[in-house]
Structure 1
Amino acid sequence: MNAADTQFLETLAKLNNSNPFSRERLELERQALGDAYRPDDDELWSRTPHTRLKERPNVALLTERADEMAVRMREKLQAGETFDRQLQEQYDALATYVLYYRHVAVRKIDEIAGTATQAKRHRVWREFWSEYQLFFSGTARVGHDRQAAAHLFACLFQVRRAFKHIFDCILGESLPVARLREQVWQSIFTHDLQRYRRSLYHSLRELPTLITGPSGTGKELVARSIAMSQYLSFDPEQERFVEDHSCAFTPLNLSALSPTLIESELFGHRRGAFTGADADRVGWLEACRPHGAVFLDEIGELDMTIQVKLLRVLQQRTYCRIGESNERTFAGKIIAATNRDLAAEMHSGQFRHDLFYRLCADLIETPSLAAQLADRPAALEGLVLLLAERIAPGEANTLASEALQWIAKNLPADYAWPGNIRELEQCVRNILVRGEYRPHTPQQVSRVEWLANAESGKLSAEQMLRSYATWLYAKHGTYEAVAKQMEIDRRTVKSKIDQAMLAKLQGSPSKRA
């Protein structure tokens, strides 16, 4: 082993434990490759029209060199040479890296666990197990331990799924989005992947995740990425994973349901527990698989009495169906999201402090589209093309070109995109259908509809109150801000919001997301 080999092994061991979406990963690649490192315009992994279908050249160089090093070190072991503890740990990291890129990274997810034939899935595992034995037999590691191999296989498959879901779901080339991808990876594995593989893989799901950010910034996509990337145990005797990863995500939009219905949907109920409960019902917490996640969208809408019950789930992992006294255990993960200012909600007494601090042990904030474009204006082109491919795959290039030309000609360069990615997608859809896009703003709708009616004396006092409260809510985004400006109670504000008018003010035909 010369000095260059020693440095490569030391660096690869660190790289093997690093976050692939981080700047640290890039620096480790530079250190490992030295003069062979190739500068890359798209250094940080992000899904763009230009980079998504190709392997980064530095990763290919690393893998090639790791393969060569692994062969040489394995030959030394087979010749009877022994490694000290440090070198053994570096060899373990090297072998893990090689096993991942030979048997997991090159496979589609369905080839490992999914729609592929049973024979094909079995073959992937058997090839992995065979080479695992070649790498580790005769070393300090228990080389013929199928359970250890199965756990490593499960961990590497989790890495493969996490990378794919983060890469595919979180779009954008800006630094704020790069940081978001890095944070989502940490939510799945923590900042120490080695410790996660060693001891946290079964217990980390007990830590909830809270996603905050403006409406339309992809909070549900972040939640889906985390939910679909949870650890799945692999049974080496049955040669299969114990759970189906495709059933891991259970979303529940709290803003669309009444408190009674939320409680029933979440916790389930017993027959006769309330009027209309004609049969026992399994709630989402009970239906959630041990390796899955329940996503509570609009957590800020949750009634205080249900907040107490949810807090118990987070603290003790137990709950009761409505109408029952026997406790049940929740086995999955809780992910919550909101676009509200929960600090203001707590200050006004509408959100429990203890629930907030339980939720924000793992906090992720999704950046606005304005923040992304302020960092990298050119990112708009890539986002529009990716959205065009989703909307009209066969016409993506022409649609994207048409949309970008229309935006450049008709919208100011500093247009804030208040609806964020959702608004940008709506813009591309409108241009596909109408050849134009008309941004919806509170000022436009107010002048055309409610304010014009008020000036002409057509509104009753109740209609005036509802219209003004709704307009202010669309402008400020919180009940507290509206209540303060109107000098009325927050609950009164909430009861006066006109959902149909609010949808128009926000430029969306649906409820707030």
Structure 2
Amino acid sequence: MNKQQIEYVLTEVRKLTFENPFGHERAERESRMLQQLGAHPGEKHPLKLASSSFRRLLPWIRSTEEALLKRLKTQALEEKWKDHASCLAFFALYHEVANDLDRLINSRTDDSQQNRQLYTKIQQGVAARHRLIEGMTERIWNQPDHLFACFYQLRRAFHYIHNEIIGDSAPIRRLRMQVWESVFTKDMMSYQQWMYHAVGRFPTLILGPSGSGKEIVARAIGLSRFIPYNVKAGRFEASALTSFHPVNLSALTETLIESELFGHRKGAFTGATQDRAGLFASAGSYGTVFLDEIGDVSHATQVKLLRLLQSGEYQAVGDNQTQHYAGKILAATHKDLHAEMEAGRFREDFFYRLCGDQVHTVALSEILQDRPEELVSSVHYICRKLFGATGADELSPRIVATLQSQVPANYEWPGNFRELEQAVRNIVVRNEYQAVRRQSPSSPTQQISQAYQHSSMTMAEWTRAYAKQAYQLFGNYKQAAERLEVDQRTIKKWVD
């Protein structure tokens, strides 16, 4: 390669290194580089989890690195190119070990021998590139264990986002970009140098309609956290595979929520026959607790979670000893939390502790409106999850054909991906699916009118039922009274 080509690749790779791999800027840059450089005379790069165009580009990266290293044997690198050369070394070494990282991710066991072999390979890769990184003082080059941890995190994030958030519609591409930035921020260089611990603990709030894949997004974020590598033990400080701890809060009573999250001591309540660690204790510093349906929790639970978000402190049920949680919290809801705050059901201070990082999932109808053929990839993904790769290849064409013949083209899919999954099951079993017919929503007055027509309740019974509903919704007399604009004693009289 000539000097002009080397400098061109150095300039572009410096930008590639820190760009969002799911962003359109990254795709456009790769395309321009291939147009500029042309077809590489050598073989394609053996990287498996990558687009064909990127595999065509990687040999140029390798050739540039080899040509630059050869040149540096006889002449020093100009000062203005030192940072570029360091980025080239990082980018090339990462993709050199990417297939090894994929095997590590797909392995179901924490194999210290496999870890040590890969760590040694990274050390050797750094040594072979010493002329490219000469004079660079960043921790990422001085500590191979940190470089290994960075590579492992990068590859896990790419793996889970690429494999689980599927599709090529514009809304899905934007969602993948959001998730990547939720993990690494827009400033990946600073993240890998010094922000990884602090940013990794930032709470993330996932918002979107029911059935739109909020837990899939949560898993992708939760399984992509930075985990340090322990050289002496030959293991990472925690297992990425067991680091994600989801809980559906709407399925639990108030007491069970506290026990599930914070744990309890023996005798704290009826049925507490022994001590039990909660999710926050089990997750540890490198784990993630996912609070699904956060919009359904009472004010009492919100207060306890607010304390934990502010200081990391919490107490098990029935215990006075304070414990500390240093992991990540993810929360999700389909509710409009601004409306919930206006109605007094969701605390503003709690919301603002949760909302520093937000990710918005997408309705299936929005995806299909942008790109109707996404139905094919979505059905194939569901079939692969239910029946494996072979079953997906066999079943998905028939299921797609059945959906296209039985479901209106403009169907809104009100249940989103959850409904689509049930449609797949219906077709597998009965070879049919009847689309949900939604009635237009009625106003509160219309709903009361309809209920009244089918009821024989007295005025007193109506009042009692209304008061009990308010008490059940808010969980205490004070807030129920405020909502109905009556005295607490009035509410208590009707509820008791």
Normalising by structure 2, what TM-score? 0.83
CA 238–440 in structure 1, closer or farther in 2 if over 3 Å, else same: same
Q: Secondary structure at the match of 2:129?
A: helix
Find the counterpart in structure 2 of residue 189 from structure 1: 184
Give CA deviations for 1:390-413 in whole Å, capped at 9, x if unaligned.
333444344222222222222211
CA distance in 2: counterparts of 1:85 and 1:159, whole angstroms:
29
Given that residues 216 and 422 in structure 1 are in contact (C-alpha distance below 8 angstroms), is that contact kept between their aligned partners in structure 2? yes
**5+ unaligned residues in a row in structure 1: which ranges?**
39-51, 467-485, 496-513
Q: Secondary structure at the match of 1:139?
A: coil
CA 320–116 in structure 1, closer or farther in 2 if over 3 Å, else same: closer
Report matched runs for 1:383-462 at 5 Å: 383-393=378-388, 394-441=390-437, 461=457
Q: Secondary structure at the match of 2:247?
A: strand
Matched, 1:221 2:212: no
Cα shift at 1:75: 2.7
CA distance in 1: counterparts of 2:107 and 2:230, whole angstroms:
12
Given that residues 37 and 58 in structure 1 are in contact (C-alpha distance below 8 angstroms), is that contact kept between their aligned partners in structure 2? no
Aligned match for 2:82, one of 78, 81, 88: 88
Given that residues 77 and 139 in structure 1 are in contact (C-alpha distance below 8 angstroms), is that contact kept between their aligned partners in structure 2? no
Cα shift at 1:353: 0.5
Matched, 1:339 2:334: yes
Given that residues 132 and 143 in structure 1 are in contact (C-alpha distance below 8 angstroms), is that contact kept between their aligned partners in structure 2? no
Tell me the amino acid that sits aligned with residue 251 of structure 2: A
Report matched runs for 1:289-368 at 5 Å: 289-368=284-363
Q: Secondary structure at the match of 1:108?
A: helix
Cα shift at 1:349: 0.6
CA 118–235 in structure 1, closer or farther in 2 if over 3 Å, else same: closer
Given that residues 213 and 339 in structure 1 are in contact (C-alpha distance below 8 angstroms), is that contact kept between their aligned partners in structure 2? yes
CA distance in 2: counterparts of 1:104 and 1:34, whole angstroms:
25
Tell me the amino acid that sits aligned with residue 338 of structure 1: T
CA distance in 2: counterparts of 1:378 and 1:99, whole angstroms:
37
Report matched runs for 1:37-116 at 5 Å: 55-79=50-74, 81-105=75-99, 107-110=101-104, 114-115=108-109
Find the counterpart in structure 2 of residue 176 from structure 1: 171
CA 148–326 in structure 1, closer or farther in 2 if over 3 Å, else same: same
CA 238–83 in structure 1, closer or farther in 2 if over 3 Å, else same: farther
Give CA deviations for 1:225-267 in whole Å, capped at 9, x if unaligned.
1111100101233332121111110001100001111112111
Cα shift at 1:314: 1.1
Q: Secondary structure at the match of 1:158?
A: helix
Tell me the amino acid that sits aligned with residue 225 of structure 2: Q
Given that residues 113 and 234 in structure 2 are in contact (C-alpha distance below 8 angstroms), is that contact kept between their aligned partners in structure 1? no
CA 146–4 in structure 1, closer or farther in 2 if over 3 Å, else same: closer
Given that residues 302 and 347 in structure 2 are in contact (C-alpha distance below 8 angstroms), is that contact kept between their aligned partners in structure 1? yes
Given that residues 113 and 121 in structure 1 are in contact (C-alpha distance below 8 angstroms), is that contact kept between their aligned partners in structure 2? no
Matched, 1:165 2:166: no
Find the counterpart in structure 2 of residue 276 from structure 1: 271
Given that residues 112 and 234 in structure 2 are in contact (C-alpha distance below 8 angstroms), is that contact kept between their aligned partners in structure 1? no
Given that residues 158 and 232 in structure 1 are in contact (C-alpha distance below 8 angstroms), is that contact kept between their aligned partners in structure 2? yes
Q: Secondary structure at the match of 2:206?
A: strand
RMSD across aligned positions (CA): 3.1
Find the counterpart in structure 1 of residue 482 from structure 2: none
Aligned length: 452
CA distance in 2: counterparts of 1:263 and 1:493, whole angstroms:
18
Find the counterpart in structure 1 of residue 480 from structure 2: none
CA distance in 2: counterparts of 1:492 and 1:323, whole angstroms:
25
CA 322–107 in structure 1, closer or farther in 2 if over 3 Å, else same: closer
Tell me the amino acid that sits aligned with residue 491 of structure 1: A
Aligned match for 1:121, one of 115, 124, 148: 115
CA 402–385 in structure 1, closer or farther in 2 if over 3 Å, else same: same
Find the counterpart in structure 2 of residue 32 from structure 1: 33
Find the counterpart in structure 1 of residue 484 from structure 2: none
CA distance in 2: counterparts of 1:424 and 1:124, whole angstroms:
41
CA 328–78 in structure 1, closer or farther in 2 if over 3 Å, else same: farther
CA distance in 2: counterparts of 1:191 and 1:443, whole angstroms:
43
State, as a whole percentage, how many aligned pairs show the same letter. 36
Given that residues 288 and 331 in structure 1 are in contact (C-alpha distance below 8 angstroms), is that contact kept between their aligned partners in structure 2? no
CA 458–437 in structure 1, closer or farther in 2 if over 3 Å, else same: same
Cα shift at 1:323: 2.7
CA distance in 1: counterparts of 2:338 and 2:123, whole angstroms:
51
Matched, 1:261 2:256: yes
Tell me the amino acid that sits aligned with residue 133 of structure 1: A
Cα shift at 1:458: 8.1
Q: Secondary structure at the match of 2:143?
A: helix
Tell me the amino acid that sits aligned with residue 433 of structure 2: Y
Tell me the amino acid that sits aligned with residue 118 of structure 2: V
Find the counterpart in structure 1 of residue 470 from structure 2: 491
Given that residues 9 and 64 in structure 2 are in contact (C-alpha distance below 8 angstroms), is that contact kept between their aligned partners in structure 1? no
Cα shift at 1:382: 1.9
**5+ unaligned residues in a row in structure 2: which ranges?**
40-46, 475-496
Cα shift at 1:222: 0.5
Deviates more, 1:132-141 or 1:147-156: 132-141
Deviates more, 1:99-108 or 1:286-295: 99-108
CA 106–272 in structure 1, closer or farther in 2 if over 3 Å, else same: closer
Deviates more, 1:377-386 or 1:221-230: 377-386
Normalising by structure 1, what TM-score? 0.81
CA 209–117 in structure 1, closer or farther in 2 if over 3 Å, else same: closer
